Amino acid sequence: MIKYFERKFALSEQGAKDLFKAIIACTLTDISLMLPVGILYLLLSDFVSPLVGGKQVTSNIWFYIGLSILILAVLFVLQWLQYNATFLASYKESATKRIALAERLRKLPLSFFGKRDLADLTTTIMADCAQLETAFSHYIPELIGSLVSIILASIGLFFIDWRMTLALVWVIPVALLITAGGKRWQDRFTIKSKQLQLERADGIQECIETVREIKANNQTESYLARLDELLVESETSSIRVELNTALFVVSAQMVLRIGIATVVLVGSLLLVNGLIDFTMLLLFLIAASRVFDPLASSLINLAAIFSSMLSVERMQKIECESLQIGSDHVTYDGYDIRFDRVGFAYAGGKTVLDEVSFTAKQGEVTALVGPSGGGKSTVAKLAARFWDVDRGTITLGGTDISAVDPETLLSNYSMVFQDVVLFGNTVMENIRLGKRGATDEEVLSVAKAAQCDEFINAMPQGYQTVIGENGSTLSGGERQRISIARALLKDAPVILLDEATASLDVESETLTQRALSELVKGKTVLVIAHRMRTIAGADKIVVLKGGQVAEEGTSATLLAGDGVYRRMVELQTRSSEWKL
């Protein structure tokens, strides 16, 4: 049962155990609600039967008062146990699930994130987990608990009078079948509604992120008009989901009400024929109210469970994704990076790299150049195992990186990209990201080496200045130099530079290059550049064209030939002479 709950509802082992406890608690609570029916039946039996004397009646009254107090105490305890078993347990499981999904995402290859957008993943971690939380605390235990309690109550009533029991319970399977019959339609509408909700979230997020471009191109009115259409479509779809659910649930609840009528009809016939007495009829009428009322709510829960299962499926898709795994304990023979006949394509698309082979040696700067789309950035990402190769091998210090845990591997890499990512925190903490637990003195030292100290001290609170989301208060050159300071602090043996100075002005580029000179000393350096003059002094230049190594060597040897590199240098020389 526990394993079934784990698989069915995407729960942890403890969550499945807590769900089982919640079902038991809900079942006991529902059964306890039948106890007042029994007291009422006994009380009515006493009053309609011949009385022996006043002393007996008084004794019975105190008996019923004491029994009522006892039942109230039992109801209180069971309700308290149910609350703890459902709500408190579901909150713990929701937190566990979110952390588990986040940990899963942390270990997935970047190829996964190319298939799922940010709004989709955010919805899974937040909205879908919240949906599971509600299902765990309300829908599932209450539904199963009510069904189990109804079965047990029906068995008990069957021994009292099987004819009245059949008149009472025949509508229950019919109502359940009607509700279950709407699942296919409900799933179709719910999937459509969730898709529109994702498109709406994507549209809103895109609007916020690109508001500058939208305004600059006078597209505000047309973009907001499209966003309004998405909002209306999403609202309309949500209404359809609710109407579809209501159609089947309300129909099933109406069938349940017929059960009361059949109890009255059958009971009246049996009463007229002297087969039962009035108290028996009254007992089943009261029992009908205690059975049908919670079951009517459970039918709503059943429809909600169908909707929740779609959220469970979305979480299970993430949990079924293959992880990037490897050893945590690795030894390297130096830090040379070697590509051996590497082939790679993104998500089954056209081949990006084909039979790429070269070696970036420790203590040297290896530059990757070539036309756009040649595979330069892909080479850097594969070297850091952001993706796994389709063919061939990549080794670091003689060790195949596909056998190394990604986080263990990345502890050997410092990366500086053209698009710098900073956090809405202080300058000090943004630099400290390069080395957990680094002292303030270490941060100040690398900031000076990265040519950051002057502009940081000019800020209102210096190193304690909060720089806004993604460093929004800084210039491009300042953001780039903070990124280099972070890499200096990490002090990893392998450096990956992807267009680190491409978008900087001359002054910023000069300062950044000084910082880079400090960063690359004695390291294995793999640098991607479009400006040929920035890599003229590289120890080795690898020219990529069409996903293959077109040529490699020093700048001098490549210029002496008549290949791609020489033509690129000549074209850039001509373009530098262009004037308006």
Same domain assignment for residues 110 and 154: yes
The two tokens of residue 412 are: 């050997």
Same domain assignment for residues 314 and 345: no
Helices (H), 118-219: 118-123, 129-134, 140-160, 162-169, 171-181, 183-209, 211-216
In angstroms, rounded to a whole number, what is the distance separating the alpha carbons of residues 77 and 28? Answer: 11
If one counts every other C-beta atom within 10 angstroms of the C-beta of residue 179, the result is 24
For tokens 């699942």, name the residue: 183
Each residue's pLDDT tens digit in the chain (580 positions)?
777 777 777 777 888 888 888 888 888 887 787 777 777 767 766 665 554 444 444 446 777 778 888 888 888 888 888 888 888 888 888 888 888 888 888 888 777 776 677 777 777 777 777 777 777 777 788 778 878 888 888 888 888 888 988 888 888 888 888 877 777 777 777 778 777 877 787 788 778 878 888 888 888 888 888 888 888 888 888 888 778 777 887 888 888 888 888 888 998 898 888 888 777 887 788 777 777 777 777 777 777 777 777 777 788 888 887 888 888 888 888 899 999 999 998 876 788 899 999 999 998 889 898 888 888 888 988 998 888 888 999 999 999 998 998 888 988 998 887 777 888 888 899 899 888 888 999 999 888 888 888 888 888 888 898 887 767 778 877 888 888 888 888 888 998 888 766 555 666 667 667 767 776 777 898 988 777 777 777 889 999 888 888 888 888 888 888 888 888 888 877 766 665 5
Q: Which of these, 502, 508, 492, 511, lies nearest to 535 by C-alpha position?
A: 502
* Cα 43-45-46 angle, rounded to 5 deg: 65
43: in domain: yes
Same domain assignment for residues 300 and 331: no
In angstroms, rounded to a whole number, what is the distance separating the alpha carbons of residues 101 and 382? Answer: 25
The residue range of the domain holding 548 is 327-412+523-580
Same domain assignment for residues 386 and 274: no
Same domain assignment for residues 293 and 377: no
Same domain assignment for residues 56 and 152: yes
351: in domain: yes
509: in domain: no
229: in domain: yes
510: in domain: no
The CATH number of the domain where 390 resides is what?
Answer: 3.40.50.300
512: in domain: no
Tally of domains in the chain? 2
Q: Compute the half-sphere exposure of residue 20: CA atoms within 13 Å on the CB side of its CA.
A: 13
| Angle of the 13-32 helix axis to the 89-106 helix axis, nearest 10 | 160
Domain-terminating residue out of 271, 294, 319: 319
Domain-terminating residue out of 319, 339, 358: 319
The CATH number of the domain where 222 resides is what?
Answer: 1.20.1560.10
166: in domain: yes
Domain-terminating residue out of 319, 353, 371: 319
Same domain assignment for residues 65 and 183: yes
Q: Which of these, 178, 168, 339, 347, lies nearest to 265 by C-alpha position?
A: 168
Residue 510, amino acid: T
For tokens 């069971």, name the residue: 78
Same domain assignment for residues 338 and 298: no
| Angle of the 476-490 helix axis to the 506-519 helix axis, nearest 10 | 0
Strand 351-360 versus strand 494-498 pairing type: unpaired
Same domain assignment for residues 213 and 356: no
511: in domain: no
Same domain assignment for residues 281 and 344: no
Same domain assignment for residues 402 and 268: no
Same domain assignment for residues 303 and 331: no
Q: Which of these, 170, 89, 172, 102, lies nearest to 136 by C-alpha position?
A: 89
